[in-house]
């Protein structure tokens, strides 16, 4: 069993403010008169109402449901999650920080791929962890173009490094950002088996919804020794409201709940997420449109001779022949008022990343890039 911080393995700390919604559920009845809560419950909010309307104003008076039951229930009904295997927090980023806080002490070793989603490294270093980075596999043949090489987090290297360094946790984004690479479920199971028993696998599945097999069997289940993190920022378009969720075994989530910032997901964010989850057809249509645009963008760039990487996400990554050229194209695009992403890590200096937006497909939009292909 992977380890938690020592002080979290006995009882407590226990949250002093689980909140009114949790109390109502425990008591089995509503509490319409909150005479002991110190929020501005009787504020008229005229300015807010004028600006955003009455509907919005009603969501701002109270702290959010610390258990986010409404969101979790909707996820259960739509995707077959187990209710007690879900924990909601303020986006996938907050979950990464939360997992680090619950599992790693300052000085503990954690392992990730050099150049993958950099927020993990930022949080790990901020917590005083010793970050070991393994290289991307840039030598294996590409899955779609065997004459080219691919770009994939190297699972064997991650496992090997974790074993040699006695790591407390391994981070893997799957599908990966910025490569777009997808490892199969069998690969993930094999990685978990290759890790030391006391090492966590923190699986960042922020782009899971864009996988063609997003609803495959087992996709929405907890795995022993693994904490899976997802988000409503991408396929649900709610990045500004900060809603994400973790999938893990109930006893694991119980420890995370001990150190979670209990009101981190606001009442308004929860209400908005519930509305969006109540209209899954809109999300499904969006995902289909993104997948279509992604394929169109790949085909368009490949027809110009670009070295485009396969993507299971809502973006497309391509490799230019040199770091200098990638840098120049990035700057030329920016001068033209068009911001594309360029991987910050020196190992990935040739990589550019373009999101599969309608705007990216507008004729001439990528002209500074197309000029050099």
Ligand X SMILES: Cc1ncc(COP(=O)(O)O)c(C=O)c1O
Q: Which is nearer to ligand X, 319 or 353 (CB)?
A: 353
Tell me which stretch binds ligand X (CB under 6 A): 86-94, 219-227, 271-279, 332-340: 86-94
224 alpha-carbon distance from chain centroid: 19
Rounded to whole angstroms, the Cα distance separating 138 from 53 reads: 53
Assess contact for 293 and 359: CB atoms under 8 A: no
**What distance, in Å, lies between the first and last C-alpha atoms of the chain?**
50
Minimum CB separation of residue 93 from ligand X in Å reads 3
Q: Which is nearer to ligand X, 20 or 90 (CB)?
A: 90
Minimum CB separation of residue 239 from ligand X in Å reads 5
Minimum CB separation of residue 119 from ligand X in Å reads 6
Among 85, 108, 204, 249, binds ligand X (CB under 6 A): 204
- Which residue's beta carbon is nearest to the bound ligand X? 91
Residue 113 binds to ligand X (criterion: CB under 6 A): no
Q: Which is nearer to ligand X, 244 or 310 (CB)?
A: 244
**Residues found in the chain:** 373
Tell me which stretch binds ligand X (CB under 6 A): 43-51, 72-80, 89-97, 253-261: 89-97
List the beta bridge partners of residue 170. Answer: 111, 201
Residue 87 binds to ligand X (criterion: CB under 6 A): no
β-sheet with 351-355: strand ranges across = 307-308, 315-319, 351-355, 341-342
Tell me which stretch binds ligand X (CB under 6 A): 27-35, 87-95, 141-149, 364-372: 87-95
Q: Which is nearer to ligand X, 90 or 271 (CB)?
A: 90
- Contact characters 205-224, ligand X, x per CB under 6 A: -x------------------
Total residues in contact with ligand X, by rule CB under 6 A: 12
Q: Which is nearer to ligand X, 113 or 231 (CB)?
A: 231
| Strands 200-204 and 244-247, bridge-based pairing | unpaired
Instruction: List binders of ligand X among 226-245 (CB under 6 A).
Output: 231, 233, 239, 244
Rounded to whole angstroms, the Cα distance separating 340 from 352 reads: 7
At a CB cut-off of 8 Å and minimum separation 6, what does 275 contact? none
Instruction: List binders of ligand X among 118-137 (CB under 6 A).
Output: none
Minimum CB separation of residue 181 from ligand X in Å reads 12
Rounded to whole angstroms, the Cα distance separating 125 from 5 reads: 17
Minimum CB separation of residue 205 from ligand X in Å reads 8
Among 93, 137, 154, 249, binds ligand X (CB under 6 A): 93
Residue 177 binds to ligand X (criterion: CB under 6 A): yes
Q: Which is nearer to ligand X, 203 or 326 (CB)?
A: 203
- Contact characters 135-174, ligand X, x per CB under 6 A: --------------------------------------x-
Minimum CB separation of residue 232 from ligand X in Å reads 7
Site residues, ligand X (CB under 6 A): 91-93, 117, 173, 177, 204, 206, 231, 233, 239, 244
């Amino acid at each position: 069993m992977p380890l938690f911080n020592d002080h979290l393995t006995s009882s407590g700390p226990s949250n002093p403010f689980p909140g009114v919604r949790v109390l109502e559920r425990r008591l089995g009845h509503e509490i319409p008169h909150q005479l002991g809560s110190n929020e501005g419950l009787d504020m008229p909010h005229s300015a807010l109402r004028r600006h955003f309307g009455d509907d919005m104003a009603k969501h701002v008076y109270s702290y959010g449901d610390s258990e986010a039951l409404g969101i979790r229930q909707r996820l259960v009904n739509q995707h077959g999650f187990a209710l007690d295997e879900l924990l909601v927090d303020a986006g996938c980023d907050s979950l990464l920080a939360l997992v680090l806080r619950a599992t790693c002490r300052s000085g503990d070793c954690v392992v990730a791929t050099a150049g993958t989603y950099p927020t993990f490294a930022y949080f790990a270093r901020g917590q005083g962890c010793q970050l070991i980075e393994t290289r991307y596999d840039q030598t294996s043949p590409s899955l779609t173009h065997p004459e080219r090489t691919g770009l994939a987090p190297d699972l064997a290297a991650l496992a090997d490094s974790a074993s040699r360094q006695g790591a407390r946790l391994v981070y893997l984004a799957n599908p990966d950002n910025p490569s777009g690479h997808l490892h199969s479920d069998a690969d993930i199971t094999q990685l978990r088996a290759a890790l030391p028993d006391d090492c966590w696998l923190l699986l960042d599945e922020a782009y899971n919804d864009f996988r063609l097999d997003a609803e495959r069997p087992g996709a929405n289940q907890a795995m022993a020794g693994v904490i899976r993190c997802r988000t409503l920022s991408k396929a649900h378009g709610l990045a500004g409201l900060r809603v994400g969720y973790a999938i893990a075994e109930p006893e694991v989530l119980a420890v995370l709940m001990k150190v979670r910032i209990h009101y981190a997901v606001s009442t308004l964010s929860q209400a908005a997420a519930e509305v969006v989850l109540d209209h899954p057809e809109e999300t499904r249509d969006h995902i289909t449109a993104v997948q279509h645009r992604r394929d169109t963008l790949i085909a368009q760039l490949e027809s110009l001779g670009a070295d485009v990487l396969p993507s299971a996400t809502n973006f497309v990554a391509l490799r230019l022949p040199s770091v200098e050229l990638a840098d120049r194209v990035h700057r030329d695009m920016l001068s033209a008022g068009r911001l594309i992403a360029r991987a910050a890590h020196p190992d990935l200096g040739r990589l550019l990343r373009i999101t599969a937006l309608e705007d990216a497909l507008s004729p001439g939009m990528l002209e500074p890039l197309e000029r050099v292909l």
